[in-house]
Amino acid sequence: MKIRNNNLFACLLAVSLSGSTMVACAQATTTGGTGAARTSASDPAKTALLEPMRQMMEKLKKLQATGDPDFDYVLQAKIHAQGEQDLLKQEVQNGKDTTLKQLAQNLLKATQSEITQLDGTMRQIKPSRPNQAFTQQQSRNMQAMALKLQQGGTEDKLTSDFDKNFVTVMLEHRQDAIDMANTYLQYGNNSALKDYARELVTKAQQEMTQIKTALK
C-alpha cells in the first residue's frame, strides 16, 4: 500500500508539471487489477453494469489535461454523463423492478438534457488558465474511480440480482459526479458551467435518495 501511495504521489506531481493525461495515475496503478476484475466478472448481472463504467474510465484516461478547470471539467463531465446514460440503458433493458426501470427511463431524459447543455458550454470554452491544484485534486478523484474497477472493488459488492447491482453501481457513479463537481466548483470560473456543477450536485443527491428508496 505504501508503494502504491508513493507511485500515486509521483504520478500526480508529473501530471501537474507536464499536463499529461488526466488519469495517467489511475492507468499506472490499476492496470493489473482491472485485468483481473475483467476475468472474474463472468456473471451477466455484473458485467452488463461494470462494462459501461470501464468504457467510461477508458475515455477519461484518454483526455489530455490542459490544467484549465473550465475546459477540463466540461469534457470530464460529458464523458461521465454519457457513462450514466449507458448505465441507465442497461437497467431499462435488463432490469426487473418496474419502479427502478421507470426511474431509469426518467433519468435518461434528464441526462440527455445535461449532455446537450454541456455541448453548448463546451463550444464557448478554450483552455487559458492552468491550475495545478485543480489538476491534482481532480486526478485523485479519477484515481478513486479507477480503483473501484479493480478486483476487490465494486465487483465484490455485486450479486446475481441485476436491480440491486444497478443500485450499487449507480450510487457510486452519482457520488463520483458529486466529487468531480465539488472539485471544479473550488477552481472554476465559467459561470454557466459553475451553475451546471451546482445543479448537478443537488440533482445527484436527490437521485441517490430516489434510487435507495426505489428498491425497498
Chain segment 138-184, per-residue pLDDT in tens: 999 999 999 998 877 899 999 999 999 999 999 999 999 999 999 99
What is the phi/psi pair of residue 58, to 5°? Answer: -60, -40
Stated as kind and residue range, the H or E segment containing 117 is: helix 98-122
Q: Left (φ > 0), alpha (ψ -120 to 50) or beta: where does 19 sit?
A: left
| Whether 10 contacts 139, CB under 8 Å | no
5 SS3 class: helix
Please give the pLDDT value at position 200.
Answer: 98
Residue pLDDT, tens place only, 59-101: 999 999 999 999 999 999 999 999 999 999 999 999 999 999 9
What is the per-residue pLDDT for 17? 42
Whole-prediction pTM value? 0.81
**Superfamily name with CATH number, domain 2-214:** Ferritin, core subunit, four-helix bundle (1.20.1260.10)
